[in-house]
């Protein structure tokens, strides 16, 4: 792990202290199933600083952090498929995408960025070290965004279809300056702020995609084979996105998989194969995560006790519910209810 000299990066002392619940805010934009390991009982205060997850456009998600670890542990969460751009502006960070591990920060042989393709859902892991600080900007380019912007072709398409492929990207000084600006945006009206952030993110994306486009790509025959193996037309993709929205509403909570597939206008096997492209996981796991999220919201609003929240999430056993809840959010149902 990296040791950070105190003078190299210090957070503002007035920055807030954060608990585990803050870490999962808007996590649905990137994935789900948040897990904590490395400690028997996680403290209420785990970080100092700020973080934000923002969908700038459908399929283009910005995650920015300015944090200092207050404890040593490990967290992980499931990520949807897509292209991942992670840039360290200050400090250091130790993280993994699936089996690909990175140590970002100063030092020989190290880099300030990672550019990784997730062709299928996989876990992101962050290794915490008490006292370590980071300023980091991460961008997710999901398949629908790449398709909508006409860049999911040639070498870029071939790269994105290689699970955990890594591109040799070393951001330019200009890209690092843009990441620095994104990390600390100016005060402005919300709509203008979003456009301001998107414009800078797109400049970084163009540079990163150009690195991929210049790499030797798959042959035309290899691309055709990949497309035939994993074909999904625009109409089917739209149906899956609409189905995902319906699952979010709770309307399918009591429906069997076959009925959900009929609703999407496809076979159950086709649905099982392709739903992770929009949901990041299987239909069954996605439904379970949505139910747990609604249960958590009911607990935090005081609308249900633990037993009622368990029933709301579809669990007959409060013990099983508590186990699943902690695995997903890193806190117990009782801790969530205490946030009232």
Q: Does residue 311 contact residue 321 with C-beta atoms inside 8 Å?
A: no
State residue 189's pLDDT score: 92
Q: What are phi and psi for residue 156, nearest 5 degrees?
A: -65, -45
Q: Name beta bridge partners: 63.
A: 53, 138
For the cut 80, the answer to whether the pLDDT of residue 54 exceeds it is yes
Instruction: Please list, in sequence order, all residues whose beta carbon lies within 8 angstroms of the beta carbon of residue 304, skipping any fewer than 6 positions away.
Output: 295, 298, 312
Instruction: Please list, in sequence order, all residues whose beta carbon lies within 8 angstroms of the beta carbon of residue 323, skipping any fewer than 6 positions away.
Output: none
State residue 3's pLDDT score: 38
State residue 112's pLDDT score: 86
For the cut 90, the answer to whether the pLDDT of residue 210 exceeds it is yes
Confidence class of residue 40 from pLDDT cuts 50, 70 and 90? Answer: low
Distance CA 295, CA 335 (A): 13
Across the range 139-160, mean pLDDT stands at 89
Dig out the tokens for 286 from the structure: 């996605």
Nearest to 201 by CA among 235, 237, 170, 175: 175
Confidence class of residue 118 from pLDDT cuts 50, 70 and 90? Answer: very high
- Residue ranges per domain, the chain? 6-213, 234-337
Across the range 78-97, mean pLDDT stands at 92
What count of other Cβ atoms lies within 10 Å of the Cβ of residue 102? 18
Dig out the tokens for 268 from the structure: 């159950």
Confidence class of residue 53 from pLDDT cuts 50, 70 and 90? Answer: very high
Superfamily of domain 6-213: Jelly Rolls (2.60.120.10)
State residue 200's pLDDT score: 95
Q: Does residue 200 contact residue 181 with C-beta atoms inside 8 Å?
A: yes
Dig out the tokens for 280 from the structure: 């990041």
Q: Between 252 and 340, whose confidence is greater? A: 252
Dig out the tokens for 330 from the structure: 């890193």
Given the candidates 1.10.10.60, 3.40.640.10, 2.60.120.1310, 1.10.10.10, the CATH classification of the domain at 234-337 is 1.10.10.60
What count of other Cβ atoms lies within 10 Å of the Cβ of residue 87? 27
State residue 10's pLDDT score: 59
Q: Between 141 and 39, whose confidence is greater? A: 141
234-249 and 257-264 are packed helices; what angle lies between their axes, rounded to 10 degrees? Answer: 130
Q: Between 66 and 290, whose confidence is greater? A: 66
Q: Are strands 82-91 and 133-141 parallel, antiparallel or unpaired?
A: antiparallel
Percent of the chain with pLDDT over 90: 29
Q: Give the predicted TM-score (pTM) of the model.
A: 0.64
Distance CA 79, CA 144 (A): 15
State residue 115's pLDDT score: 95
Confidence class of residue 20 from pLDDT cuts 50, 70 and 90? Answer: confident
Distance CA 159, CA 167 (A): 8
pLDDT tens figures, 250-292: 888 888 888 888 888 888 877 887 888 777 778 888 888 888 8
Distance CA 83, CA 60 (A): 10
pLDDT tens figures, 163-209: 999 998 889 989 999 999 999 888 999 899 999 999 999 999 999 99
Percent of the chain with pLDDT over 70: 87
Confidence class of residue 62 from pLDDT cuts 50, 70 and 90? Answer: very high
Confidence class of residue 221 from pLDDT cuts 50, 70 and 90? Answer: low
Task: Render 290-308 in DSSP notation, one character per residue.
Answer: HHHHHHHHHHHTTS--HHH
């Amino acid at each position: 792990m990296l040791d950070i000299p105190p003078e190299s990066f210090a957070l503002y002392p007035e920055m807030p202290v954060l608990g585990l619940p803050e870490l999962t805010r808007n996590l649905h934009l990137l994935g789900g199933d948040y897990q904590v390991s490395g400690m028997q009982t996680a403290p209420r205060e785990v970080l100092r600083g700020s973080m934000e997850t923002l969908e700038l456009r459908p399929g283009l998600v910005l995650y920015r952090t300015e944090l200092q670890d207050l404890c040593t542990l490990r967290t992980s969460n499931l990520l949807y498929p897509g292209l991942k751009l992670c840039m360290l502006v200050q400090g250091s960070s130790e993280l993994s995408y699936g089996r690909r591990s990175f140590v970002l920060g100063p030092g020989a042989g190290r880099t300030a960025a990672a550019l990784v393709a997730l062709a299928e859902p996989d876990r992101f892991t962050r290794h915490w070290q008490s006292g370590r600080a980071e300023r980091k900007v991460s961008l997710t380019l999901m398949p629908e965004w790449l398709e909508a912007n006409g860049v999911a072709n040639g070498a870029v398409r071939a790269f994105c279809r290689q699970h955990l492929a890594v591109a040799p990207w070393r951001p330019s000084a200009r890209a690092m300056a843009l990441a620095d600006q994104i990390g600390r945006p100016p005060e402005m009206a919300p709509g203008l702020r979003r456009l301001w952030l998107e414009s800078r993110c797109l400049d970084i994306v163009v540079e990163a995609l150009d690195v991929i486009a210049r790499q030797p790509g798959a042959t035309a025959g290899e691309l055709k084979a990949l497309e035939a193996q994993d074909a999904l037309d625009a109409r089917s993709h739209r149906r899956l996105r609409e189905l995902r929205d319906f699952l979010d509403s709770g309307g399918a909570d009591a429906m069997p998989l076959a009925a959900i597939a009929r609703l999407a206008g496809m076979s159950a096997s086709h649905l099982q194969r392709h739903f992770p492209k929009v949901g990041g996981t299987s239909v069954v796991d996605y439904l379970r995560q949505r139910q747990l999220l609604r249960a958590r919201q009911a607990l935090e609003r005081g609308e249900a006790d633990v037993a009622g929240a368990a029933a709301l999430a579809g669990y007959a056993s409060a013990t099983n519910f508590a186990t699943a809840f902690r695995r997903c959010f890193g806190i117990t149902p009782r801790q969530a209810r205490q946030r009232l």
